[in-house]
Amino acid sequence: MSECHVTPSITVSHTSAKDMGAPIIALAGQPNMGKSTLFNLLTGLNQHVGNWPGKTVEYREGHFDLSGHSIRLVDLPGTYSLTANSPEEMIAREFILREKPSVVVAVVSAANLERSLYLVAELSALDALVVVALNMMDVAAQEGVQVDARVLEAALGLPVVPMIASKAAGVQELLGVVNEILSGKRVPSPRPPEVRADHREILAKIEAQIAGHVPPPYPKGWIALKLLEGDAEVTHMMQAALPKEVWDAVHDILRAHDDAFLAVASGRYEWIGCILRAAVSRPKIGQIGLTERLDRWAAHPVWGLFILAGILGLVFWLTFTIGSPLQEWLDARIIAPLAGLAAGALADAPFWLQGMVVDGLIGGVGSVLTFLPILVIFFAVFALLEDVGYMARAAYVMDNFMHLMGLHGKSFLPLFLGFGCNVPAVMGTRVIDSWPARLLTILIAPLVPCTARMAVIAFIAPAFFGANAVWVSWGLVLLSLLMLVVSGALLNKVIFKGQRSAFIMEMPLYHIPNLRTIGLLVWQRSIAFVKKAGTAILVMSLLVWVLSYLPNGNLNTSFLARFGHFIEPVGRWMGFDWRLTVALITSFPAKENAIATLGVLFGSSPNAGLTDMLTVSFSTASALSFLVVTMLFIPCMATVAVTKQETNSWRWTLLSVFLLLGLSMAAGTVVYHLAVWIGL
């Protein structure tokens, strides 16, 4: 089940014909070092985002021209080390070892050299041509840290280029050095860290044992080192590759030194320490940095929660004051005229074709398109908070709360995104580093009320509850979140046996947001939404339209209506008649379809008196129950599709669907009978 046990077989299939022979440059670096900023700077919109083959790890590659040659730039996942702790680390090292990029640009932060050189220490032990991009020189200067790039260069044996990626400074120099390496004018001669003296002999013994048995393309010395570090993947691979008696001998050595990974890591930090003593001068001033001052509030267990609540409130306010009018505008000015145009153009076409294009196709496209403004606002705020460095604080202050479900703070971030749309929420669970925690977060994410469901609530609640609609809406949101916590806690107990993953997270320094980075992030997420959700919604809208049209073009006698009548007895538990049942079913392609369906079922006159007809036809108890079920009902089609994609399992996907189906029906039944009992 765990993704951590992937076999080392990553081959990249993104290569198109025009790339053949184009030199590959790989960007490597730890998180929060400005790697993405540099990538965006070099490639601009000329980039492609996807997944690494067979993995749910984002793959980004782009192109740029360097003195007449097209260069393929591959952004490796941000990793702290190259030990197989996560799929990201596996991908990064397998790519370097197998694809053998012409140059590896290692992005490090001048303000945080000690830690960021750790990855360089690992990289220089691979047979790769590494150039060090010494980024964030401005942040270092602000903190009074001075880095001598020439000394660093001499100590590492690797070219070092000082730069400020956020201000596009030093990029030409970096490209100049890359060009020199590509043309063979300059050859880096890395001086990788040595293993500490007390473990050198053991390493030599292992190397001698495995000699001749190491499968290509792995360097022998590197394999021996990773064995000593207890790297699960390399150990697994070598156990299979070595003859039994050799493996037994190696295994005995390793068992006798199972704390060697600490010695290896300490050795790397000692190597870094020596380099830093020569290259960095850091006048010790006891000044309190901006980050520390802000964190006194933002990371405070009480004030931090208030700040988070304030930010959440602001996001919703923005969404509804800017997003909703924009959404209506799009609907009135683009979708409606488009539908009119299509209806006119197809006036002579068969009625079914007209219906399919106007209601099915344009209706489907419309619901995707009109949700974009709200999502773009959500993505923009999210990207801004991420880029500024606030998101780590949000995760930190929510850690205690998330423990209720056996999760930790990091799971809060995708759930937060879920208020906009559950699709990016499920995809956003990639930030969670343990697979059980990630799976659990995916399972509960659909219980976060998304904007589409809020649109249904906003339409129906005022009709039945008048001035109290606001309280009913709030109650429904709270009910959803309560269900989220309860099901999270139960799932954790039952399926995941209460295991909890480790919460270890870097708190990056706050910094001025980079609009280019944010813009590209919003662009990519929006495109991903349109592609994923768009196709799913479109296909399902067409299907639902066909079912509501066949066999004789009348919805009231269509297959869909017959199905509604068929399962009406089940709907009765929750106080639904067949029309509410059908409306609920058609909310599967897109939640807001529920209203459109009711509109069609009650005589198609757009909005004119639909609310009045609803209040006449249904009791308040039925309406309340319908709202509750809508809030908790099975995830929309697009969410189910990404759940399948992210879990790579039908079993978990179906569990997610049936969990919510059961939960919503149970809640609806209880609420309906309670409401009838108190006389609504």
Partner 1 sequence: MFVNDRLISLSEMTVGEDATILAIQGGRMVSSRLVSLGFTPGVQVNMVQNYGRGPLIVTVRGTRVALGRGEAAKIIVERGVHE
Which residues of the chain form contacts with partner 1 (CB under 8 A)? 80-81, 83, 85, 111-115, 118, 229-230, 261-262, 265-266, 269, 291-292, 295, 299, 301, 392, 395-396, 399-400, 408-409, 433, 500, 502-509
Strand partners of residue 160:
132
- Nearest distance in Å: CB 447, partner 1: 24
Yes or no: say if 159 and 120 are a contact pair by the CB < 8 Å rule: no
Q: Helix axis angle, 620-632 relative to 578-586, nearest 10°?
A: 20
Contacts 24+ apart (CB under 8 A), 15-18: 15/72, 18/70
The residue (of 82 and 132) whose beta carbon lies closer to partner 1 is 82
Query: DSSP label at 143?
Result: T
Strand partners of residue 26:
74, 104
What's the CA gap between 672 and 680, in Å, rounded? Answer: 9
The residue (of 185 and 497) whose beta carbon lies closer to partner 1 is 497
CA dist 493 → 407, 487, 647, 658 (Å): 12, 10, 20, 18
- Nearest distance in Å: CB 254, partner 1: 12
- Nearest distance in Å: CB 36, partner 1: 19
- Reading the block at residue 270, the tokens are 């000692």
CA dihedral 230, 233, 237, 243 (to 10 degrees): 20
The residue (of 396 and 652) whose beta carbon lies closer to partner 1 is 396
- Nearest distance in Å: CB 620, partner 1: 43
Strand partners of residue 28:
106
The residue (of 301 and 553) whose beta carbon lies closer to partner 1 is 301
Cis bond before residue 162 (omega within 30° of 0): no
- Nearest distance in Å: CB 32, partner 1: 9
- Nearest distance in Å: CB 203, partner 1: 18
Residue 334 burial (10 A CB sphere; 0-12, 13-18, 19+): middle
- Nearest distance in Å: CB 133, partner 1: 19
The residue (of 24 and 394) whose beta carbon lies closer to partner 1 is 394
What's the CA gap between 480 and 168, in Å, rounded? Answer: 45
The residue (of 291 and 619) whose beta carbon lies closer to partner 1 is 291
CA dist 252 → 206, 231, 244, 247, 634 (Å): 10, 16, 12, 8, 53
- Nearest distance in Å: CB 180, partner 1: 31
Nearest partner of 441 among 449, 429, 433, 431, judged by Cα: 429
- Nearest distance in Å: CB 198, partner 1: 13
The residue (of 118 and 382) whose beta carbon lies closer to partner 1 is 118
The residue (of 294 and 312) whose beta carbon lies closer to partner 1 is 294
- Nearest distance in Å: CB 300, partner 1: 8
The residue (of 112 and 429) whose beta carbon lies closer to partner 1 is 112
Pairing of strands 69-75, 58-66: antiparallel
The residue (of 303 and 559) whose beta carbon lies closer to partner 1 is 303
The residue (of 364 and 409) whose beta carbon lies closer to partner 1 is 409
- Nearest distance in Å: CB 82, partner 1: 9
Yes or no: say if 228 and 206 are a contact pair by the CB < 8 Å rule: yes
- Nearest distance in Å: CB 414, partner 1: 18
Yes or no: say if 92 and 15 are a contact pair by the CB < 8 Å rule: no
CA dist 578 → 393, 435, 445, 554 (Å): 48, 41, 29, 15
- CA Rg, the chain, in Å? 29
What's the CA gap between 535 and 556, in Å, rounded? Answer: 28
What's the CA gap between 307 and 510, in Å, rounded? Answer: 16
Yes or no: say if 129 and 188 are a contact pair by the CB < 8 Å rule: yes
Yes or no: say if 117 and 192 are a contact pair by the CB < 8 Å rule: no
- Nearest distance in Å: CB 223, partner 1: 17
The residue (of 74 and 437) whose beta carbon lies closer to partner 1 is 437
Q: What is the 3-state secondary structure (H, E, C) of 648-677?
A: CCHHHHHHHHHHHHHHHHHHHHHHHHHHHH
* Angle at CA of residue 251, ends 248 and 255, nearest 5°: 140
Yes or no: say if 87 and 55 are a contact pair by the CB < 8 Å rule: yes
The residue (of 402 and 623) whose beta carbon lies closer to partner 1 is 402
- Nearest distance in Å: CB 86, partner 1: 9
- Nearest distance in Å: CB 235, partner 1: 11
Tell me how far the alpha carbon of residue 357 is from its chain's centroid.
34
The residue (of 307 and 538) whose beta carbon lies closer to partner 1 is 307
- Nearest distance in Å: CB 568, partner 1: 50
Question: CB 678: neighbour CB atoms within 10 A?
Answer: 8
The residue (of 17 and 502) whose beta carbon lies closer to partner 1 is 502
Nearest partner of 27 among 47, 53, 3, judged by Cα: 47
Residue 21, SS3?
Answer: coil
Region class of 575: left (phi > 0), else alpha (psi between -120 and 50), else beta? left
Give the list of residues 6+ apart from residue 127 with CB closer than 8 angstroms, or none.
219
The residue (of 437 and 536) whose beta carbon lies closer to partner 1 is 437
